[in-house]
């Protein structure tokens, strides 16, 4: 345990410092090199200034898409009040297209499930005040093998998406023939920019080639991990794998530890509360992955916590990270706008425990006096000095915003 306490934060610090030096160099050359225009255009289109929020079909409905489902999900996003909290993208994942392109080489929506076509679907989603996302793959076939990949069809497919009114692309990594991800993902980035339509670009390269170090110039978010599963082990490991890249995230480009499993049934309410809190603190995309048409009250309570969402959407855009680890008792923290600090006390042990965050762990002046807003009980503890301390249930967390006097 003593070994963990000292070596892990130090190791992360070294990794982050060394990698940050590398990326600064890359960014500088990029700014004045051939990628510079591309980067400026992506940032200029205004997308991803805060992490994207919405819904994606895959975690709950892999390959069980239909026009009716997407209509009902869009309806539910509005009627539940979730859209008013910022959830705006309705994203289709794999399995929406026919296996074969048409005679002109265009992707074709699968007629048996999308009989009215994609333009009509986009119109419906837009009529609800929402945006629509689609899925494609930077290889020869998508992961399900039920639809063609977009490798060598980047321009054509990007133009097709723009003509349908698509607002977001998740670009997967299956069947890629071992070709360079930087090239494959850049080629689609250019194709999307060339359409002239602002399309949020989400790279799903699974973190294999350290995309945090190169993707911020070409995309709005990049996966840092393989797919999440609806288990405590999978969720905690995605959080840790993503955490290493914290220094690379910022307005316009975000680390993506994969979509939310909250509400899908594989974890307890407290485990889902931890999942949602850590994703929010880490400025991860908040893409709902449950059936929002029939979510229970506890799921809705978690996903609709306005104060937690505000941490995720804070305009400073600094990814909070693990700042202290004592066994499996962890403190995660990061700065917010207006000199505030977000904190999660996370008990990853299997029994109740007390967790302490000292001001020095949180980057606060040792003489600071703060008010601590508890974002889950919606109550405030006034004028605290020296440290924040709480008893936390097994696999649960407490989440706060600290405001110095």
Ligand X SMILES: *[C@@H]1O[C@H](CO)[C@@H](O)[C@H](O)[C@H]1NC(C)=O
Q: Residues in the site for ligand X, rule: CB under 6 A?
A: 151, 179-180, 183-184, 187, 297, 365, 367
Nearer to ligand X, 29 or 180 (CB): 180
Q: How far is the C-alpha of 363 from the C-alpha of 370, rounded, in Å?
A: 13
Nearer to ligand X, 242 or 305 (CB): 305
387 phi, psi to nearest 5 deg: -160, 160
379 phi, psi to nearest 5 deg: -135, 160
Please state at what angle helix 181-194 crosses helix 154-164, rounded to 10 degrees: 40
Among this protein's residues, is 172 annotated catalytic? yes
Nearer to ligand X, 151 or 336 (CB): 151
Nearer to ligand X, 103 or 367 (CB): 367
Smallest gap from Cβ 182 to ligand X, in A, equals 9
Q: How far is the C-alpha of 238 from the C-alpha of 331, rounded, in Å?
A: 17
Nearer to ligand X, 184 or 395 (CB): 184
Please tell me which residue in 93, 137, 157, 172 is annotated as part of the active site.
172
Q: What is the DSSP string of 59-121?
A: TT-TT---HHHHHHHHHHHHHTSTGGGT--EEE--S--B-SS--TTS---B-TTT-TTHHHHH
Smallest gap from Cβ 129 to ligand X, in A, equals 23
Smallest gap from Cβ 339 to ligand X, in A, equals 12
Q: Which are the contacts of 238, defined by CB distance < 8 A and separation ≥ 6?
A: 225, 228, 257, 258
Is the CB of residue 168 less than 8 Å from the CB of residue 132?
yes
Q: How far is the C-alpha of 282 from the C-alpha of 322, rounded, in Å?
A: 9
Nearer to ligand X, 154 or 243 (CB): 154
Nearer to ligand X, 65 or 136 (CB): 136
Q: Which are the contacts of 160, defined by CB distance < 8 A and separation ≥ 6?
A: 106, 107
Q: How far does the chain reach from its first CA to its final CA, in angstroms?
A: 36
288 phi, psi to nearest 5 deg: -65, 145
364-372, long-range: CB within 8 Å, 24+ apart, which pairs? Answer: 364/402, 364/404, 365/404, 368/404, 368/405, 369/404, 369/405, 370/341, 370/402, 370/403, 370/404, 370/405, 371/402, 371/403, 371/405, 372/400, 372/401, 372/402
Smallest gap from Cβ 183 to ligand X, in A, equals 4
Q: Which are the contacts of 248, defined by CB distance < 8 A and separation ≥ 6?
A: 19, 20, 23, 212, 213, 216, 255
Please tell me which residue in 227, 328, 361, 371 is annotated as part of the active site.
227
125 phi, psi to nearest 5 deg: -60, -45
Nearer to ligand X, 100 or 360 (CB): 360
Q: How far is the C-alpha of 144 from the C-alpha of 159, rounded, in Å?
A: 23
Among this protein's residues, is 227 annotated catalytic? yes
Smallest gap from Cβ 155 to ligand X, in A, equals 9
Smallest gap from Cβ 405 to ligand X, in A, equals 10
**Residue 289 vs residues 80, 91, 267: alpha-carbon distances, Å:** 15, 10, 13
Smallest gap from Cβ 301 to ligand X, in A, equals 9
Cα 111 to chain centroid, rounded: 31
Smallest gap from Cβ 24 to ligand X, in A, equals 26
Active site residues: 172, 227
């Amino acid at each position: 345990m003593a070994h963990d306490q000292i070596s892990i934060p130090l190791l992360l610090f070294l990794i982050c410092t060394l990698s940050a030096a590398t990326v600064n160099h890359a960014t500088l050359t990029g700014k004045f090199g051939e990628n510079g225009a591309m980067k400026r255009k992506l940032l200029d289109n205004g997308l991803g200034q805060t992490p994207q929020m919405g819904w994606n079909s895959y975690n709950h409905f892999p390959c069980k898409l239909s026009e009716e489902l997407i209509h009902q999900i869009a309806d539910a996003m509005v009627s539940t009040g979730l859209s008013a909290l910022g959830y705006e993208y309705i994203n289709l994942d794999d399995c929406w297209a026919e296996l074969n392109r048409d005679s002109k080489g265009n992707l074709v929506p699968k007629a048996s499930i999308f009989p009215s076509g994609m333009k009509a679907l986009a119109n419906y989603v837009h009529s609800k005040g929402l945006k629509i996302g689609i899925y494609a793959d930077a290889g020869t076939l998508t992961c399900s093998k039920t639809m063609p990949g977009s490798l060598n069809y980047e321009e054509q497919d990007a133009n097709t998406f723009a003509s349908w009114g698509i607002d977001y692309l998740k670009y997967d990594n299956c069947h890629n023939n071992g070709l360079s991800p930087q090239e494959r993902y850049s080629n689609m980035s250019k194709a999307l920019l060339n359409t002239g339509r602002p399309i949020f670009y989400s790279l799903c390269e699974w973190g294999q080639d350290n995309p945090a170090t190169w993707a911020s110039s070409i995309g709005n978010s990049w996966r840092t991990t393989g797919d999440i599963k609806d288990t405590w082990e999978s969720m905690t490991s995605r959080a840790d794998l993503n955490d290493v890249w914290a220094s690379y995230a910022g307005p316009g480009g975000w680390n993506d530890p994969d979509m939310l499993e909250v509400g899908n049934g594989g974890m307890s309410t407290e485990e889902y509360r931890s999942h949602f809190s850590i994703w929010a603190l880490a400025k991860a995309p908040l893409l709902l992955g449950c059936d929002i048409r029939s979510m229970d009250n506890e799921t809705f309570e978690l996903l609709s916590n306005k104060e937690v969402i505000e941490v995720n959407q804070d305009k400073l855009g600094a990814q909070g990270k693990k700042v202290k680890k004592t066994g499996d008792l962890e403190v995660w923290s990061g700065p917010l706008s207006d000199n505030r600090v977000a904190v999660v006390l996370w008990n990853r042990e299997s029994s109740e425990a007390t967790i302490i965050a000292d001001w020095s762990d949180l980057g606060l002046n040792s003489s600071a006096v703060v008010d601590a807003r508890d974002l889950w009980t919606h109550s405030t503890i006034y004028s605290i000095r020296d440290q924040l301390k709480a008893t936390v249930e097994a696999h649960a967390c407490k989440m706060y915003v600290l405001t110095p006097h």
